[in-house]
Amino acid sequence: MTTPAMWLRGAAASAVLLALCCGSADSPTAPAANSAIAAGGELPAIFSRFVGAQASRDGSQVVLRATSVPDHPSPYFGIGHPQYEAPQPGMLVNPNRIVSQSLVLRVPVSPQPAAPSDTPLGPMGVAINGVALFNQYAAGRSPLADEIRSFDRYNGHPQQSGTYHYHLEPLFLTAQGNSRVIGVLLDGFFVYGTRDADGSVPTGLDACNGHTDPTADNSQGVYHYHITAQPPYIAGCFRGTPGSVTGG
């Protein structure tokens, strides 16, 4: 005759065998857990600052969709556009005009340090207003030099396909707070303004233009890039493994 004690012992043994064979529902290798990760998850709160880029979570990546159209005036909108403004004195307006893009950037949710790698020509990240961030080079990876004269008063201009972008400090954004988050690079590490969270000038920046220090969003300290007045201006290299970008 089967007693309650014998039944409980048998049930426990079956549960152990089931867990060893098929995995527990709480195990990271269980199908249910993998499905939850693959389906997405919670979007890090800092991406709520990216008002010019639509952010969503896709598993271990954040997907950012942006048009790279600035939320401030520029001569590059062209005469007759509501956001057109006349060039500032000394500006040499290039022949390009701002064209709405379909940028899609995929960046790691949890970036990890890696061997530094070169940033590309073209979008290497995106600012919180949805404008593409470019590196410190002009075409052919030559210094910006005279090209800087074509920047509007907010330090942006469009290239041949009409992608408006910043190579230098995005003055429209830093004017609203020089220690705030400015954008994110393809490696998932964030770009901050010209000051640390305490208002001091950042020190100990590495070759990529970053350091590990407290930010306005992380009092414990985290790796991040800073805008500087000298090259590389935004970032000299990726300090993490970059994701991908299409468009622009």
139: confidence class by pLDDT, cuts 50, 70, 90: confident
pTM of the predicted protein model: 0.83
pLDDT at 17 over 60: no
pLDDT mean over 13-20: 34
Of the candidates 98, 60, 61, the residue with the CA atom closest to the CA atom of residue 82? 98
Pairing of strands 190-192, 218-226: parallel
**25 vs 81, residue with greater confidence:** 81
Strands, E, within 118-243: which ranges? 125-127, 132-133, 156-158, 164-166, 181-185, 190-192, 210-215, 218-226, 238-240
- Give the β-pairing of 125-127 and 53-58: unpaired
pLDDT on residue 41: 79
pLDDT at residue 37 greater than cutoff 70: no
Dihedral sign (CA 225, 227, 229, 231): positive
Which range, of 10-19, 81-90, 130-139, 157-166, averages the lowest pLDDT? 10-19
Q: Judge contact between 27 and 34, C-beta under 8 A.
A: no
